Amino acid sequence: MSRRSAARRRSGGRRPACAAKPASSPLRGGSPDPPRAARPARGAASLHRAARPVLVVGVTGASGAAYAVRLVECAVRTGRRVHLIVTAAGRLVMADETAAHFRGDALDLASLWPHDVAACVTYTPAEQLAAPPASGSFDAQAAVIIPCSMNTLAALAHGLAGNLVQRAGQVALKEGRPLVVVPREMPLTRIDLANMARLADAGAAVMPAMPGFYHRPRSVADLVDFVVAKALDRLGIAHGLAVGWPGAGKNASRRA
């Protein structure tokens, strides 16, 4: 038996989801949206090229770890590989808010995703500052920090890179790659607001986790999908999440 077929047997015969062609990977029935990316982040055009298939996903100690779990799944199911980095505070919050199982700083990927998704995820704790995403030569297409704490936001806004999440964000900025940050805090201080403005000036897309309600969410998962879809749109990653505005007057009949 070849090594490849042995590996496929171990995974229950399923190909890793990132090996699937993006166009054939709708997330929720129907075809995936065409690459909507109304206003792609700087350099987002390159996201559609196969040359740079790795998306760096940073998770910090803000509430909303579910956004990261869903975004990773969506990115993988549209053909990307993900390098996932989680800070120490991120691990605390993630363990609290999701099914994530950590042993020390190691994450059991199977606690969050089925095998075909987990097979496309590389995980590194943020303390490992010397891991590949710390380098500009790491073959990443973009970085997204979701959720982003005010602590990490402040560090990025001031050019600090004390852990691998911060460094990966800094690398995206200096290399001119798309950087999306999804802050979550309430209320925001003037310091937070100034840091967001600084980061936006430096080229990042600052997208606070503010779900809309015009898609008529029926569950928390629908609200999560709204925020994830917006982040994916900004990254130029086509997805099949049903979060669009149905148009004036259509809502009344939609739920009938």
Ligand X SMILES: Cc1cc2nc3c(=O)[nH]c(=O)nc-3n(C[C@H](O)[C@H](O)[C@H](O)COP(=O)(O)O)c2cc1C
**Residue from 44, 65, 93, 168 that binds ligand X (CB under 6 A)?**
93
Rounded to 5°, the CA angle 237-242-246 comes to 120
Strand partners of residue 143:
56, 179
**Residue from 42, 185, 208, 246 that binds ligand X (CB under 6 A)?**
185
**Residue from 132, 151, 240, 246 that binds ligand X (CB under 6 A)?**
151
Contacts of 157 (CB under 8 A, 6+ apart): 194, 195, 196, 198, 199, 202
Nearer to ligand X, 150 or 223 (CB): 150
Nearer to ligand X, 11 or 63 (CB): 63
Nearer to ligand X, 124 or 152 (CB): 152
Contacts of 221 (CB under 8 A, 6+ apart): 70
Binding status of residue 195 toward ligand X by CB under 6 A = no
**Residue from 89, 95, 161, 188 that binds ligand X (CB under 6 A)?**
89
String of contacts with ligand X for each residue 26-65, x by CB under 6 A: ----------------------------------xxxx--
Nearest residue to 73 via CA among 161, 65, 250: 65
Nearest residue to 152 via CA among 32, 255, 223, 62: 62
Give the tokens for residue 159: 């050019």
* Separation of CA 159 from chain center: 22
Binding status of residue 124 toward ligand X by CB under 6 A = no
| C-beta nearest to ligand X: residue | 61
The three-state secondary structure class of 233 is: helix
Q: How far is the CB of 209 from ligand X (least distance, A)?
A: 9
Give the tokens for residue 8: 């496929």
Number of residues that bind ligand X (CB under 6 A): 16
**Residue from 53, 90, 211, 236 that binds ligand X (CB under 6 A)?**
90
Under 8 Å between Cβ of 79 and 20: yes
Q: How far is the CB of 201 from ligand X (least distance, A)?
A: 20
Positions in the binding site for ligand X (CB under 6 A): 60-63, 87, 89-90, 92-93, 96, 149-152, 184-185
